[in-house]
Each structure stands twice: as C-alpha cells, then as structure tokens.
Structure 1
Amino acid sequence: MALDLSEQLRYVNGIDLHITEAGSGEPLLMLHGVTVDATAQRYEIETLADSYRVIAPDLRGHGRSTRPTAFTLRDHVDDMIALLDALGIARTAVLGVSMGSYVAQALALAVPQRVQKMILVVATSHGTTSSSARVLAEHADELRDLSREEQQQWLSARMFAPETPESVRQEVRDWFISRHDLGLAMSAEQIEAANNAVLGFDFRAELPALDIPTLLISGRHDILNPPAEGERIAGLLPSAQIEVFEHSGHLPSLEEPQHYVASIRTFLAE
C-alpha cells in the first residue's frame, strides 16, 4: 500500500511551520534535533506511519519553517501547543531527539494533559546550550581556522559509534549537502539563534512530578549526551525506562534503525 504522506505549511503562533504528516491512528509528534529538520527522520516517519498518525514539524528556525532572528524554548513549546490545536489533537505521544528531547520535556511540563507518552532520544535534562554548541566550544582552539560548514563536518564525524559503517556516515554528509543544494542550509546566525533558544535550560527540579510513561534511548558511544544523561532523567521521572544502544553514538535512528523502530513500537504498544 502506498504511503499517504503530505507536506504543508501551517500558520501557528505567528509563524509558518512546515509539517510532514503520514499515516493514521494514534498521533505521534516527532521533534528533530538542532540544525536538521523533519527530513532527517524520514525512515521513522515512513516506517511508523503504518500504525500511527505521524506529525513531524520543522521546528522554528529550521528547514522550511520560519526562521526568526531570535526565539526561545518557550516559543518552541507554544508552537507545538498551537499546532496540536490546529490539527485537532487533544493528546499525543511525543518523540524528541537531542534538542527535540528538550522541547518534548518542556512541552510535557507545560501541558502534561496533552502528552500521553514520551520517547526521549539522546537526551539530557539540563544544559547551558545545545550539546552540539557545547562540544564545539570545548574544541574552539582546534577548530578556530575552520569554516562553520567545516566545523559541522568535524562534529558529524564524531557523532557515531566506532563500528558505524562508512555508508551511514556518508548518508549524513549527503543529507547536509542536499540541504545546501536546496538552499535550506542554516547560516551561522541561524545556527546561533537555534542554540540560543536552549540557553540555560534545566528540568531536573520539575521532572519528578511528571508522571508520564517515558522511554529513554541513549547511544553507548554518544559524546554529546552520553548514557549517563539518559539515566539521570530515568531516575528523576516516576514512570521511565532506559535502553542503551550498544552500537550507536548520537544517531541511533541511523546507526541501529531496525532496533530503534522496534523499541519505539514496543513501548508505544505497551
């Protein structure tokens, strides 16, 4: 059966959000990481759409959505609430990857009655900025003479487990090249705005009161948000479990895709 996948712009909360939607059934809101967009989750969207109504927005500042010069984590949350309202969705499961996991946690804390389950992938509960920005800052002397694009390539090369095949690494490089070719690459100013949106976030004091079934997925070799960060969140939440992918770094959806989707399916079906 052909996949019923649609793309549209929705005007919500004062901006245009580009939405990819596929499938039918219980809703599943997918939130991507910093500097990418919903197309980076194409495999999960297409695979899980056989059982769920998957909604995957390009978060503000990314992809084909409006790119304001400045915005906040609360703006992301308000965007998602307005989007759910516009789509007529009262409650949804939420899957957030890296920066998307910060938005997912903030959304659940703001409107817990709207979030049925959470899947937090390569997540952390606090930070001074995005994990990507933190790692780049830690290696600033080493990267001083590289362009912004070269710095992103340096970072991408270190996001994987040692055993991740070259074909998967090339897939990520090709994805960033495709964004450039389509005129969708983020400028240095736009990346800075996206990182500034998560300056100084900290959910640790609030998470113990958030009784929402949650699955944490961490990559054993993740240098950005290592498994200890996922374990910390699992220890704070009343109803959480964690699964550490032994052959993944920061990109388990690409490094162990079948395992990744199977874990999500099992958790959502419980």
Structure 2
Amino acid sequence: MDLNTEIKGKGTPILCLHGHPGSSASMSVFTNYLSRQYQTIAPDLRGYGKSRCKQSFKMQDHIIDLTALLDKYNIDSCLLLGWSLGGILALELALAMPERFKGIILIATAAHPLSSHPQPTWQDQLFTGIGGIVNYIKPGWQWNIDTFCKRSLFRYLISNHAPESYYYLATEAVPAYFQTSKAADIALSTAIRQGYNRLEDIHQIEVPCLMLSGEGDRHITANASQKTAQYLQNCHYINYPQVAHLFPWEIPDLVLKDIQQWLGQNFT
C-alpha cells in the first residue's frame, strides 16, 4: 500500500512510526524537533490517518508497506523511532532487514507487550466522552481536566494532567482516533489475542537501541519495556517517574533531550 507520508528536514533519515490509534501528525512532538537536524519520515500506517484501508489485513502487512516506502524514497540506511505499536513494528523491521537500520528509539513499547489496564466502567466511559468532547472544544481547560478528565480513562494515559498534554490530546489524538479504521483495530486485537512475543528473537538486533518507558504506563507496562531492553544486545533504558503511556506529551522537553543526547553519543 502506498502510505500517506510526511517528510520534514534534511540529513540522516529517521523513520517515525506512530501507535494505535495514531497518525503521522501525532508524531509531531518528535518530528518538529528532530527535523532540525535529521530528515524525519512519518507515514500513516495502513488503516490509519489518510492511508485509508477498508479491507482486512494482518500486522505483517505493515512491514511490507514500510519496506516499500523505504524503497520508494531510496533509503538504504536509516534510524527507527517507534511509539507503542510503532515500536513493535520498528523491532520487526530490524529483525527482517538488519542491514537497513543503524539504530532504534523505542518509546512506551515492548517485544512482549503486557497491560495492567483495568476493565473500564460505565462511569469511565461517560467521563471520558464528556471530558474528551469538552477538551476538543476548549483544549487544556483546567476545570474540565479536574472535573471530568482526571476521573476518565485519560488517567491511564496521562499522569500529571498538565494542560499541555491535553492540547496534544485535542489536536492530535482525537483526529487520529476518528481516522483509525475498523480493519486496523481488528489487525491489532488479533495479534494481541495470538499472544505476540518476540523476546527470544530480539537478541539478533545488534544496533544501538534506546528504550524509554513511563513508570505509570498501564497500556504497556514499564516492566515489559525494561525486559525488552534487557533482551536487546545494546540498549540504554530510561524509565520516567510519574508519567504514563503518553509521556512524550507529558514531559516532551526531557524526552527530546534524552533522545538528542543518545543520538549524539552514538551517531556523530
């Protein structure tokens, strides 16, 4: 599939892969910063964003699409950056074509993703709906955050509930959610039910890796991320306290600083 792709900047290419739900636009926290020094390539994965797809597909189709994308732009060597599902796909790409990638940045992800997310209640759903709608109309409104969002499912995505995080939710997460297809939902849920686990394989990845996790992540636990880092041959692991799955939107300055430092240490 010919993926809708956003390319910014010049320099060493970094393929930036979003999560579920997500889109190329939801990677702006990384691409706006990294494109000052690198060329960022952020596609809408099959079934997400503007890469429309109504037909059913499997997770492996993402790898086929991304390989074709790299071929299209004649990219023989690049870095990988993946958030959540995007991190899983980054690992899969590195396993499939190790000669093509020279470093991987993994964010809130794992080779064996485990969740500690509780079953949502009707009150969770209600407060999420109200808080989400109000936040979309008036992003970052503290009264809405305190009244609805802190009592909604957002509390499992964000820990510090700062207005900046809710700006990202309103401008990038909500549009990505509504642009995520049913086919994409099914492809991911099928892979999870089948018990996705690549821990025993990722020792084959020899390139430098950076793993970042949030201490309060309930969607992919920090323990799962840390275990993945331990199975990788050459991985630097950082776990941020008091943040959750969307921690790049909670502490963007610190995350970007750590990424930049790691890039400077390994690729200068």
**TM tier relative to shorter chain:** 0.7 to 0.9
- Alignment-derived partner of residue 7 in structure 1: none
For residues 1-270 of structure 1, the aligned pairs below 5 Å read: 15-127=1-113, 135=117, 138-139=118-119, 142-143=121-122, 146=125, 150=129, 154-161=152-159, 163-178=160-175, 184-186=178-180, 188=182, 190-196=184-190, 199-270=194-265
Q: How far 1:175 moved relative to its partner?
A: 3.3
- Alignment-derived partner of residue 9 in structure 1: none
Query: Does the 8 Å CA contact 1:216/1:230 hold for their aligned counterparts?
Result: yes
Q: How far 1:267 moved relative to its partner?
A: 1.3
Distance in 2 between the 1:143 and 1:106 partners? 36
Q: How far 1:124 moved relative to its partner?
A: 1.4
1:172 counterpart letter in structure 2: L
**Which structure's residues are more often strand, by fraction?**
1
Q: How far 1:127 moved relative to its partner?
A: 4.3
1:160 counterpart letter in structure 2: I
Q: How far 1:193 moved relative to its partner?
A: 3.7
Q: How far 1:190 moved relative to its partner?
A: 4.6
Distance in 1 between the 2:200 and 2:37 partners? 35
Moved over 6 A (4+): none
Among all aligned residue pairs of Structure 1 and Structure 2, give the percentage whose two residues are the same amino acid. 26
TM (norm. structure 1) is 0.81
Q: How far 1:244 moved relative to its partner?
A: 1.0
- Alignment-derived partner of residue 3 in structure 1: none
Instruction: Determine helix, strand or coil for the equivalent of 1:191.
Output: helix
Instruction: Determine helix, strand or coil for the equivalent of 2:90.
Output: helix
Q: How far 1:100 moved relative to its partner?
A: 0.5
TM (norm. structure 2) is 0.81
Distance in 1 between the 2:130 and 2:181 partners? 13
| Closer/same/farther in 2, CA of residues 255 and 16 from structure 1, 3 Å limit | same
Deviations 1:66-92 (A, max 9, x none): 324322221111111111111111011
| Closer/same/farther in 2, CA of residues 82 and 247 from structure 1, 3 Å limit | same
Distance in 2 between the 1:21 and 1:187 partners? 23
Deviations 1:75-119 (A, max 9, x none): 111111111111111011100000101101111111111111001
Query: Does the 8 Å CA contact 1:210/1:238 hold for their aligned counterparts?
Result: yes
| Closer/same/farther in 2, CA of residues 176 and 250 from structure 1, 3 Å limit | closer
**Which structure's residues are more often helix, by fraction?**
2
| Closer/same/farther in 2, CA of residues 82 and 241 from structure 1, 3 Å limit | same
Distance in 1 between the 2:9 and 2:174 partners? 29
Query: Does the 8 Å CA contact 1:18/1:65 hold for their aligned counterparts?
Result: yes
Deviations 1:154-186 (A, max 9, x none): 44342112x231442353144344458xxx533
